[in-house]
C-alpha cells in the first residue's frame, strides 16, 4: 500500500497559543516518514494568501507543492469540512511521499 492509496495518518498537535506545538511539529517533521504541514486549519484560504511566503521560498499562492495539494479540493467545493480535510491530508501524503503528517491545531 502506498501513500497514494492508503488513508493518511495524521498526528495532530493541539495546545495553547505559544506553547511550542509548532516547533514540536517541525522537529517531528525532520523524520523521513513525517511531513510537517504547519497549521492546516482553514486550508487553503488561510495559508495561500497573496503575500505569504512558503517555507520553500516561493509565494504561497505560487508554490507548486501547495497549489497541487489545493487542486485536490477543486471537486469538493460543496463537501463537508471533514471530507475536505481528509482530501487535503491525502493530497499532502501523495505529494510529499510521506505516510505521516503532523498538523498543528
Q: Which residues bind Zn ion (CB under 5 A)?
A: 54, 56, 63, 65
Rounded distance, CA 89 to CA 69, Å?
Answer: 9
- Minimal distance in Å, beta carbon 53 to Zn ion? 9
Signed CA dihedral, 57, 61, 64, 66: sign only: positive
Closer of 63 and 104 to Zn ion (Cβ): 63
Closer of 31 and 52 to Zn ion (Cβ): 52
- Minimal distance in Å, beta carbon 80 to Zn ion? 27
Residue 13, Cβ density class (10 Å: 0-12 exposed, 13-18 middle, ≥19 buried)? middle
Residue with cell 485536490: 72
- Minimal distance in Å, beta carbon 9 to Zn ion? 22
Closer of 17 and 57 to Zn ion (Cβ): 57
Amino acid at each position: 500500500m502506498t501513500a497514494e492509496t492508503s488513508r493518511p495518518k495524521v498526528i495532530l498537535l493541539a495546545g495553547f497559543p505559544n506553547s511550542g506545538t509548532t516547533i514540536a511539529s517541525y522537529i517531528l517533521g525532520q523524520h523521513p516518514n513525517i511531513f510537517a504541514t504547519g497549521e492546516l486549519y482553514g486550508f487553503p484560504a488561510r495559508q495561500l494568501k497573496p503575500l505569504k511566503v512558503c517555507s520553500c521560498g516561493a509565494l504561497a499562492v505560487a508554490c507548486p507543492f501547495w497549489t497541487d495539494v489545493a487542486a485536490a479540493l477543486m471537486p469538493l467545493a460543496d463537501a463537508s469540512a471533514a471530507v475536505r480535510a481528509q482530501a487535503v491530508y491525502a493530497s499532502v501524503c501523495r505529494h510529499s511521499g510521506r505516510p505521516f503528517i503532523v498538523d498543528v491545531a
